[in-house]
Amino acid sequence: METRQRCLLIGNSRWHWADRDSDGVWRYTHSQPMPQALDSGAPLTAWAGVGPVRHRSLLRNDRRLDLDQIPLRDVPPWLGIDRALAGWGAWRQSGQTGAVMAVDAGTVLSLTRVTGDGRFDGGWLSAGLRLQLQAMARGTEALTEPRDTVADVWHAARFPRDTGDAMHRGVLESLLGLIVSAQAQDPVPLWLCGGDAPSLLPALLDRGIEVSHAPDLVMQSMVAVVS
């Protein structure tokens, strides 16, 4: 019988889990911060955090996955561990035969380029969907942050009349534009993950951009490292 295992990545706004059940199958879930979950279920095999961790007292330091354990070459010490996992995972899953670009559409939209021989090769960073909406709401008198995302923004009005819809469309167009520009400058295989990936994927495909959508790319990479 396989031993149950659990991995956790503490992100900027969500917690990301990987659980291996007794049948040996890994399952991936994403949640709001849940410190109470650290006291239930299987003990953590490994954990990592993208920044300072509030609930450090509940986490064993000897189970923390550090940046130097990610088998990505030429990694600078300031790189976020989530970017390292996404970049290395995209390169690994693509067959390790050429350069790739990992796009993680989370709290921050990160584009991370990895060379054909598995070296970190820079990238771009931008505020993600929710951060951009929050910035508009906080930086203006008239705008408020929309409560819900547009259900089908790419098939709605191209130039929405509703303010909330216009904010969503504008932000998604700005994020899409970064990805399209990166592909124009460097048309390497594109790997897309992150909570906002489903909102960007249809528009990328409509524009003829080939993309591998890997929703659990970062956690799959974490599992591969600790396994």
Are 39 and 87 in the same domain?
A: no
82 among known catalytic residues: yes
Where does the pLDDT of residue 3 fall: very low under 50, low under 70, confident under 90, or very high at 90 and above? low
Comparing CA positions, the residue from 97, 96, 89, 47 lying closest to residue 70 is: 89
Comparing CA positions, the residue from 55, 94, 51, 45 lying closest to residue 225 is: 45
For residue 68, is it within any domain? no
Mean pLDDT of 201-210: 92
For residue 159, is it within any domain? yes
Our count of domains for the chain comes to 2
pLDDT, position 185: 96
Distance CA 157, CA 7 (A): 42
Q: Which of 17, 35, 63 is the last residue of a domain?
A: 63
For residue 69, is it within any domain? no
Q: Which of 82, 104, 121, 196 is catalytic?
A: 82
Are 170 and 143 in the same domain?
A: yes
pLDDT, position 89: 98
pLDDT one-digit tens code per residue, 152-201 = 677 777 898 888 888 889 999 999 999 999 999 999 999 999 999 999 99
Are 201 and 103 in the same domain?
A: yes
Using the predicted structure, report yes or no on whether residue 96 has a pLDDT greater than 70.
yes
User: What is the reported pTM?
Assistant: 0.91
Place of tokens 């929309």: 146
**Domain range enclosing 183:** 74-226
For residue 133, is it within any domain? yes
pLDDT, position 56: 65
Distance CA 115, CA 126 (A): 22
pLDDT one-digit tens code per residue, 35-57 = 887 776 678 899 999 877 776 66
Are 53 and 104 in the same domain?
A: no
CATH number (domain holding residue 34): 3.30.420
CATH number (domain holding residue 164): 3.30.420.40
Are 107 and 141 in the same domain?
A: yes
Are 114 and 174 in the same domain?
A: yes
